[in-house]
């Protein structure tokens, strides 16, 4: 027993049977372990509730942030709420389970302020060089031409906001306000489903997908807000990177066909605190390089 840890996972996608089995096997190793679930739990509210209830029962504290899949309104879901109303509903589900969300007071773990955030995306990351400088409309047209369109465009509504970029702008304003009020003496752990920086996007098999992967507005937040670690998912590329001396942990499990290939080299739960000894390169990166770095693309 090593004492309580802050653990993280994401992209559990429990609407897949193999992933459901994987979640059933998730247990704390210390009764005091906390667990961050960084979005994309499932597509339907009942599945999200099932997974979070199971985890909330086992871990001392579960912290959830929404991913794009959690915000979809798929046909056949009993809950047909869209956009911010759907998010508010999921926050209520979490509260009924004792799970913390971006709408709750930020908790402290081992001397670190844990900041669950919901920031969405605004199509501003342009990894494909010829997309830089294009309007959102033109960039989306280029992606469409390349055959790359995120399913969000069909299943995630933003009403009453005029699209995800407007919703994202509102989330940025509110989150900046909260960050400006944080206690100055605590280092942070920044948690968001979408990456905060560009570096992790450079390995996307389809660079057009960067449009749906966050916002350039957060590119310096890890420095400006004294981050000890940044936790995110969405890319299904579960690796550790370092920028400006800050550890970035992509903690996604991903779809069975993805994790069965790399065999979840470090398991489905990543240790965030206490900070583990760095493995350089991390086992996933080493594996991917052996494969010729044929990374999975974002979903």
Per DSSP (E only), the strands in 97-215 are 108-109, 112-116, 188-191
Per DSSP (E only), the strands in the chain are 6-9, 34-37, 61-64, 108-109, 112-116, 188-191, 227-232, 240-243, 246-250, 270-273
Is 11 or 226 the residue whose CB approaches Fe ion more closely?
Answer: 11
DSSP state of 258: H
Nearest distance from C-beta of residue 182 to Fe ion, angstroms: 26
Cα 8 from Cα 63, distance rounded (Å): 9
Interface ranges with Fe ion (CB under 5 A): 11, 40, 67-68, 234
Is 4 or 39 the residue whose CB approaches Fe ion more closely?
Answer: 39
Nearest distance from C-beta of residue 119 to Fe ion, angstroms: 13
Nearest distance from C-beta of residue 193 to Fe ion, angstroms: 6
Is 44 or 234 the residue whose CB approaches Fe ion more closely?
Answer: 234
Is 109 or 259 the residue whose CB approaches Fe ion more closely?
Answer: 259
Nearest distance from C-beta of residue 209 to Fe ion, angstroms: 10
Nearest distance from C-beta of residue 6 to Fe ion, angstroms: 21
3-state secondary structure of 91: helix
Residue 241's DSSP bridge partners are 248
Is 155 or 172 the residue whose CB approaches Fe ion more closely?
Answer: 155
Nearest distance from C-beta of residue 4 to Fe ion, angstroms: 27
Cα 81 from Cα 214, distance rounded (Å): 23
Cα 182 from Cα 173, distance rounded (Å): 15
Cα 167 from Cα 160, distance rounded (Å): 9
Is 34 or 212 the residue whose CB approaches Fe ion more closely?
Answer: 212
Please list the helix, strand and coil fractions of the chain in percent, rounded to the nearest 5, in that order.
35, 15, 50
The neighbour count for residue 9, using CB atoms within 10 Å, is: 24
């Amino acid at each position: 027993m090593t004492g309580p840890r802050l653990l993280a996972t994401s992209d559990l996608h429990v609407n897949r049977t193999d992933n459901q089995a994987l979640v059933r096997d998730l247990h704390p190793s210390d009764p005091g372990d906390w667990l961050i679930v960084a979005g994309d739990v499932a597509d339907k509210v009942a599945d999200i509730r099932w997974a979070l209830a199971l985890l909330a029962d086992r871990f001392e504290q579960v912290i959830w942030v929404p991913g794009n899949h959690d915000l979809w309104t798929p046909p056949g879901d009993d809950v047909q709420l869209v956009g911010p109303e759907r998010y508010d509903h999921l926050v209520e589900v979490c509260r009924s389970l004792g799970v913390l969300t971006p709408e709750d007071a930020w908790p402290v773990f081992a001397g670190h302020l844990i900041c669950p955030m919901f920031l969405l995306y605004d199509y501003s990351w342009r990894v494909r060089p010829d997309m830089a400088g294009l309007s959102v409309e033109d960039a989306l047209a280029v992606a469409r031409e390349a055959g790359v369109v995120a399913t969000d465009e069909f299943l995630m509504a933003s009403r009453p906001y005029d699209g995800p970029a407007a919703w994202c702008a509102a989330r940025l304003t509110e989150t900046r306000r909260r960050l400006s009020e944080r206690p100055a003496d605590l280092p942070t752990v920044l948690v968001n489903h979408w990456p905060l920086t560009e570096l992790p996007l450079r390995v996307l098999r389809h660079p057009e997908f960067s449009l749906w992967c966050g916002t350039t507005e957060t590119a310096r937040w890890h420095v400006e807000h004294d981050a000890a670690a940044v936790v995110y998912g969405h890319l299904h590329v579960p690796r550790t990177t370092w920028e400006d001396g800050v550890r970035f942990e992509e903690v996604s499990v991903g779809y069975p066909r993805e994790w069965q290939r790399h065999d979840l080299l470090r398991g489905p739960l990543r240790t965030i605190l206490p900070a583990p000894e760095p493995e350089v390169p991390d086992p996933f990166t080493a594996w991917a390089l052996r494969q010729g770095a044929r990374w999975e693309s974002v979903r």
